[in-house]
């Protein structure tokens, strides 16, 4: 990958390639799960990105992975006060609020908070390895980082209900048909295609793009406050702790049994 490397910390690698600011999730051992340190680093990157026009491209530095949601081992001990801080929902709102268009390049599972991260971007492209799921209710909580309203906006209520109620997983082809992915590309070309898309966007007026994005955001539902309050109630529910503990125990059992420790229901919440 060409370009000037600008730094790597907090599980994030940042690189500028022309008009594209590549924001790479870099926690391969955790399948890019979003812990609080990574969320803080992403906030800092987005704040810096507002200094001059750029198309933010969110991707993974590890082939075959996008993001397996929130870090459940960390989430297990969060309580109502933590939920009211809106840790992950605040990140998705900050990504949505980037002044210019954003792109998610999804090469692998985007589960739970990972799906919500992709949804917070304006455009999404993916490889044949992409898949999307929102398993939060199986862990005793809600998809509290935007899926309850961004997902229906993108794929419609019927698909959103199946994903949120029944845990339906969309593979790349299904996600493309539903509108969750705008384009499909070969995995090896995905990041280059994201940069090419950023370059096409950058041929337009940055100010016009900024104002167009503001106009489109007028249609944004104001539901984040409800999501935060609902999550704060569920974070104190004993069933949440029981379900998340069982999830972690089962994941460890699969890992020690020789599996990869990930299946389509493994996405952490937002």
Compute the CA torsion angle 41, 44, 46, 50 (nearest 10 deg). Answer: -160
Neighbouring C-alpha atoms within 13 Å toward the C-beta of 177: 6
Residues serving a catalytic function are 116, 136
Beta strand 20-25 with 55-60 is parallel
Q: How far apart are CA 86 and CA 214, in angstroms?
A: 23
Q: Please check whether residue 198 is in contact with residue 103, taking contact to mean a CB–CB distance below 8 angstroms.
A: yes
Give the three-class secondary structure for 149.
helix
Closest CA to 78 of 240, 250, 258, 211: 240
């Amino acid at each position: 990958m060409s370009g000037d490397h600008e730094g790597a910390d907090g599980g994030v690698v940042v690189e500028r390639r022309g008009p594209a600011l590549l924001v790479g999730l870099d926690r391969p051992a955790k399948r890019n799960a979003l812990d609080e340190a990574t969320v803080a680093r992403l906030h800092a990157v987005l704040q810096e990105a507002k200094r001059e026009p750029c198309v933010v491209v969110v991707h993974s530095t590890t082939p075959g992975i996008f993001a397996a949601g929130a870090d459940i081992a960390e989430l297990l001990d969060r309580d109502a006060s933590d939920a009211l801080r809106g840790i992950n929902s605040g990140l998705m709102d900050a990504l949505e609020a980037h002044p210019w268009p954003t792109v998610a390049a999804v090469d692998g599972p985007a589960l739970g908070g990972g799906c919500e991260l992709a949804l917070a971007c304006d455009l999404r492209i993916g490889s044949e390895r992409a898949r999307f799921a929102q398993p939060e209710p199986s862990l005793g909580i809600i998809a509290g980082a935007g899926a309850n309203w961004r997902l229906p906006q993108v794929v419609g209520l019927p698909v959103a209900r199946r994903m949120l109620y029944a845990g339906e997983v969309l593979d790349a082809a299904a996600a493309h048909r539903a509108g969750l992915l705008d384009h499909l590309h070969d995995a090896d070309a995905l990041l280059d295609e994201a940069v090419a898309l950023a370059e096409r966007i950058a041929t337009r007026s940055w100010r016009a793009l900024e104002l167009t994005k503001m106009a489109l955001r007028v249609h944004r539902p104001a539901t984040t406050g409800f999501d935060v309050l609902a999550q704060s109630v569920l974070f104190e529910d004993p069933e949440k702790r029981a379900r998340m503990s069982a999830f972690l125990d089962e994941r460890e059992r699969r890992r020690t049994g020789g599996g990869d420790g990930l299946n389509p229901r493994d996405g952490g919440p937002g």
